């Protein structure tokens, strides 16, 4: 689970007589060293945690598991207990003392307060007191052969196998042991023993759950010879895009069964809201340009953290699309609930099967990228773009906005994307490595473009900043002169994306303007665009595709650039500072 948090880690293991706890600040390696690879802390049931600090700095004390004063109960927690200050004060008034600054510690102290020998009864009592989000793993000294877990708004799965049963907050953590999983829903409680798993609702009534088999195997969640997950995932993009497109292209047509919309529904669409965070939001931005241009349906794109609180106007005929790799992003999940609360149909474009958003959306279009481990998304991003292109073309055709011959040409271009991505990976890496070595010391970067190129700029800029810690901004090229141009000086790196032939000239004049102020210009442009090389310092060429799909190609050199700049700076790019793979808190 280290990719979900890595500022500290810990274990609590029940050896039949007592709960042994080992925890420390730092990467998992530090915990491994502390416990001699786990040898010094043995038992038959236990819980572990890798932390990404929300409440309290990363420290040995703030690491999970947290435990009560006599170390008879230990807890690991993902999520945030929003009312922890109030609970903490009440417990202090009752004589409890706290060691950490975390919100989690109130959970274990509350369990201590309510526990009278019946673990499940204490857990349900505690659930009624907690506000916020949680996936909890709990061990009790009195129940050495049992492990308890419960969730609300934070992911939790149970894996079952002949040699034992597991809880985890994501599938890759248990793939080594089993592919048979149960997805735990909000308010459900699980009791595990070595040979048995029982599920209960919050009234402690036993419930039945359906066992699912995960399609991914362990090799998909390992590095497979690559130095980093990010590089592996960059190279998996041709396959990921192909896997997302191919099942939906049949007999030279686009068929999206999972959409569950008939022709009438599509013709009646008045508006689309795309809601997402981070890179998924950027694919939404690209989707807006493509859907509006092809299908002529107005599209509004919102950051989920804004959408959920801004009282959006969702009227009859609106389709809300939530895009998320993990399917667990707290803001996106809240946005989905807001849309559903207003009676809207929600379509999820999701990568993780069985994730919370996938389960709560009315319909799900899965992106078949496989497990994405690197914090900086690459292959999931590319598959999200593919899903949006399919939707745009399908909507356009059904609404009569796209003549058959244009549809056929677009489809031909769409089908070529995987091999064109492959050709960039085969031919451009050495050049990008060279460019990265030149720009490794750059302090300030801008990414500019117009139209679809602006949306590519957004993603290029985010990739660079999140893994190489270089300050970077993305701007529509025409907007620079309204302020940001004041920041251009000798040595500022500007990456200009130029794939929209009808807009070339406009962006080229912006490039001339910034070059004359000392900027170094890197152009990413279509093969054959000779003008770009004349005005830029270096040009990277990408294969020619239809103008609606260029983001899928132009983003590849930008991903590689950020990767090699980060390598040049000697950074741990699979685990960038302050970031976690899925942001399950607000």
Q: Which is nearer to ligand M6R, 297 or 560 (CB)?
A: 560
CA 224 – CA 219 distance, rounded (Å): 7
Vertex 328: Cα angle to 83 and 162 (nearest 5) = 105
Contacts of 556 (CB under 8 A, 6+ apart): 234, 237, 421, 424, 425, 428, 542
Rounded least distance, CB 567 to ligand M6R, Å: 17
Rounded least distance, CB 281 to ligand M6R, Å: 7
Binding site for ligand M6R (CB under 6 A): 277-280, 324-326, 329, 332, 375-377, 462, 466, 579, 582-583
Contacts of 573 (CB under 8 A, 6+ apart): 228, 230, 374, 376, 467, 468, 563, 566, 567
| Contact (CB, 8 A) for 254 and 394 | yes
Vertex 162: Cα angle to 158 and 164 (nearest 5) = 50
Q: Which is nearer to ligand M6R, 158 or 358 (CB)?
A: 358
Rounded least distance, CB 464 to ligand M6R, Å: 11
Q: Which is nearer to ligand M6R, 520 or 580 (CB)?
A: 580
Q: Which is nearer to ligand M6R, 326 or 495 (CB)?
A: 326
Contacts of 213 (CB under 8 A, 6+ apart): 179, 180, 181
Alpha-carbon dihedral of residues 533, 538, 540, 544, nearest 10 degrees?
-10
For 493, the 3-state DSSP assignment is strand
Q: Which is nearer to ligand M6R, 283 or 526 (CB)?
A: 283
Residue found by looking up tokens 């810990």 in the block: 10
* Strands of the 299-303 sheet, one edge to the other: 299-303, 271-276, 318-324, 345-350, 363-366
Rounded least distance, CB 323 to ligand M6R, Å: 7
| Contact (CB, 8 A) for 130 and 107 | yes
Rounded least distance, CB 536 to ligand M6R, Å: 26
Q: Which is nearer to ligand M6R, 45 or 324 (CB)?
A: 324
Rounded least distance, CB 25 to ligand M6R, Å: 23
Closest CA to 142 of 21, 11, 14: 14
Rounded least distance, CB 19 to ligand M6R, Å: 33
CA 561 – CA 428 distance, rounded (Å): 10
Q: Which is nearer to ligand M6R, 102 or 332 (CB)?
A: 332
Of all helices (H) and strands (E), which one includes residue 273? Answer: strand 271-276
Rounded least distance, CB 234 to ligand M6R, Å: 12
Q: Which is nearer to ligand M6R, 106 or 583 (CB)?
A: 583
Which residue minimizes CB distance to ligand M6R?
A: 278
């Amino acid at each position: 689970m280290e990719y979900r948090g890595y500022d500290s880690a810990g274990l609590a293991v029940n050896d039949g007589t007592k709960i042994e706890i080992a925890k420390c600040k730092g990467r998992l390696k530090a915990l491994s060293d502390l416990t001699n690879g786990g040898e010094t802390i043995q038992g038959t049931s236990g819980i572990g945690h890798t932390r990404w600090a929300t409440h309290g700095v990363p420290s040995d004390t703030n690491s999970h598991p947290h435990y009560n004063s006599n170390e008879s109960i230990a807890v690991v927690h993902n999520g945030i207990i929003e009312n922890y200050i109030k609970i903490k004060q009440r417990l202090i008034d009752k004589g409890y003392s706290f060691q950490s600054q975390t919100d989690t510690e109130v959970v274990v102290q509350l369990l201590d307060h309510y526990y009278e020998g019946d673990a499940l009864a204490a857990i349900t009592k505690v659930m009624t007191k907690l506000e916020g989000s949680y996936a909890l793993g709990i061990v009790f000294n009195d129940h050495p052969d049992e492990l308890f877990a419960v969730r609300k708004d934070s992911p939790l799965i149970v894996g079952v196998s002949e040699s034992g049963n597991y809880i985890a907050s994501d599938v890759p953590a248990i793939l080594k042991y089993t592919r048979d999983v149960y997805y735990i829903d909000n308010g459900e409680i699980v009791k595990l023993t070595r040979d048995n798993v029982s599920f209960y609702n919050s009234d402690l009534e036993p419930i039945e759950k359906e066992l699912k088999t995960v399609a991914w195997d362990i090799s998909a969640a390992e590095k497979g010879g690559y130095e980093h997950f990010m590089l592996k995932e960059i190279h998996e993009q041709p396959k990921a895009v192909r896997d997302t497109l191919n099942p939906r292209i049949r007999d030279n047509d686009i068929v999206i069964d999972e959409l569950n919309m008939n022709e009438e529904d599509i013709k009646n669409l008045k508006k689309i809201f795309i809601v997402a965070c981070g890179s998924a939001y950027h694919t939404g931005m690209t989707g807006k340009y493509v859907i509006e241009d092809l299908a002529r349906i107005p599209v509004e794109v919102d950051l989920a953290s804004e959408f959920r609180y801004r009282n959006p106007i969702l009227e009859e005929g609106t389709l809300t699309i939530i895009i998320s790799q993990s399917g667990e992003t707290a803001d996106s999940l809240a946005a989905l609930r807001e849309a559903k609360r207003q009676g809207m149909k929600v379509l999820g474009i999701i990568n993780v099967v069985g994730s919370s958003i996938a389960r709560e959306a009315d319909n799900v279009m899965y992106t078949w990228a496989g497990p994405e481990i690197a914090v900086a998304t690459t292959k999931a991003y590319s598959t999200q773009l593919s899903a949006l292109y399919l939707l745009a073309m399908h909507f356009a055709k059904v609404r009569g906005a796209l003549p058959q011959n244009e549809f056929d040409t677009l489809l031909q271009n769409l089908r070529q994307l995987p091999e064109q991505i492959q050709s960039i990976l085969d031919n451009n890496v050495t050049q990008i490595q060279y460019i990265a070595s030149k720009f490794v010391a750059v302090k300030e970067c801008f990414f500019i473009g117009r139209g679809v190129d602006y949306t590519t700029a957004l993603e290029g800029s985010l990739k660079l900043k999140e893994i190489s810690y270089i300050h970077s901004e993305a701007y529509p090229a025409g907007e620079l002169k309204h302020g940001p141009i004041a920041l251009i000086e000798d040595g500022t790196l500007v990456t200009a994306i130029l794939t929209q032939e009808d807009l070339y000239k406009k962006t080229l004049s912006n490039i001339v303007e910034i070059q004359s102020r000392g900027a170094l210009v890197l152009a990413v442009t279509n093969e054959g665009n000779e003008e770009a090389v004349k005005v830029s310092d270096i040009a990277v060429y990408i294969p020619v595709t239809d103008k609606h799909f260029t983001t899928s190609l132009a983003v590849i050199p930008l991903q590689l650039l950020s990767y090699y700049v980060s390598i040049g700076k000697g950074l741990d790019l699979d685990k960038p500072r302050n970031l976690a793979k899925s942001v399950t808190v607000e």
